[in-house]
Amino acid sequence: MSYPILSASRRLPRFAGRCALAVMAKAPRAGKVKTRLSPPLTLEQTAALNICFLKDTTENLATVAGATGLVCYTPVGDEAAFDGLLPEGFALIAQRGDGFGERLLAAAEDILACGFAAVCLIDSDSPTVPEAAFDRAVAELAREGDRVVLGPCEDGGYYLIGLKRAHPEPFTGISWSTGSVAEETRERCRAAGLDLVELPVWYDVDDAGTLRLLREELLDGVPPPFSLRRGHQAEHTREFLRALTTEERATEVVLSREPGA
């Protein structure tokens, strides 16, 4: 299954009054995605896990009322890498810009130019964000008046930022890829006089420590230590981790039987 590709130059009436839920994603190619998880995973495994994250996140978003799911992708020309991975009704729109903040602002500008009333930009690294967080983001952006919605991560970043207008302030002067991203975003919003609504804290999976947290949540039923909420079931990711654990245990048995082990 291939997906329609949206363009900022074409405003579509069917998007009027709807919120775009746009996952910011790279084409899931080995060596290009989730490389901080290698080790402990191989590059092929990180790409497979990234595909699971993408499937689980988009399936979660597909259930949100009043919203349309998108993937805002890079690089241009690699659209076929997403074939068959997204729910029916999703569309693609290309990323543009150089730095991360520039890409986020451009994504907001381009998606709103397509005719949407609001947009949420969502990371591709948080497959277990509770469904209720996305429902609330859409509901907050549907209310009268302008505002920014922020879904902070436990590590100081964020898994979602939602806007009704493409304000540059939340994306300007931010120390990207640091633990101060969410706080600096709050400061920029306050300085610009923008109303800010915050969603529950969650987490993204970008290193061995957060991968362990994900395993505990999905395989052992242990909620994240900073939340009592039940996360999204993320069945694709769960099955990947279950198979990976089985493989690891089998390897341990083989090694234990080797001479000198």
In a domain, 101, yes or no: yes
The predicted structure's pLDDT at residue 1: 66
Q: What is the pLDDT of residues 126-135, one digit of tens each?
A: 999 999 999 9
- CATH code, domain carrying 55: 3.90.550.10
Number of domains in the chain: 1
In a domain, 1, yes or no: no
- 49, 21 Cβ separation under 8 angstroms: no
In a domain, 261, yes or no: no
The predicted structure's pLDDT at residue 254: 43
The predicted structure's pLDDT at residue 195: 98
Structural domain boundaries, residue 233: 13-256
Residue whose C-alpha is closest to residue 114's, from 68, 159, 150, 82 = 68
In whole numbers, what is the pLDDT of the chain averaged over residues?
Answer: 94
Give residue 148's identity as a one-letter amino acid code. V
How is residue 20 annotated by DSSP? E
In a domain, 211, yes or no: yes
- 160, 232 Cβ separation under 8 angstroms: no
In which band, very low, low, confident or very high, does the pLDDT at 258 lie, cut at 50, 70 and 90?
low
> With helix as H, strand as E and coil as C, how does 113-161 read?
HCCCCEEEEECCCCCCCCHHHHHHHHHHHHCCCCCEEEEEECCCCEEEE
In a domain, 2, yes or no: no
When pLDDT is averaged across residues 107-126 and rounded to a whole number, the result is 98
Q: What is the pLDDT of residues 155-173, one digit of tens each?
A: 999 999 999 999 999 999 9
In a domain, 6, yes or no: no
137 against 251, higher pLDDT: 137
Q: What is the pLDDT of residues 163-207, one digit of tens each?
A: 999 999 999 999 999 999 999 999 999 999 999 999 999 999 999
In a domain, 160, yes or no: yes
The predicted structure's pLDDT at residue 253: 41
Residue 252 has pLDDT above 70, yes or no: no
**Spatial CB neighbours of 1, under 8 Å, sequence gap ≥ 6:** 83, 84, 86, 88
In a domain, 173, yes or no: yes
In the chain, pLDDT over 90 holds for what percent of residues?
A: 90
In which band, very low, low, confident or very high, does the pLDDT at 249 lie, cut at 50, 70 and 90?
confident
When pLDDT is averaged across residues 87-113 and rounded to a whole number, the result is 97
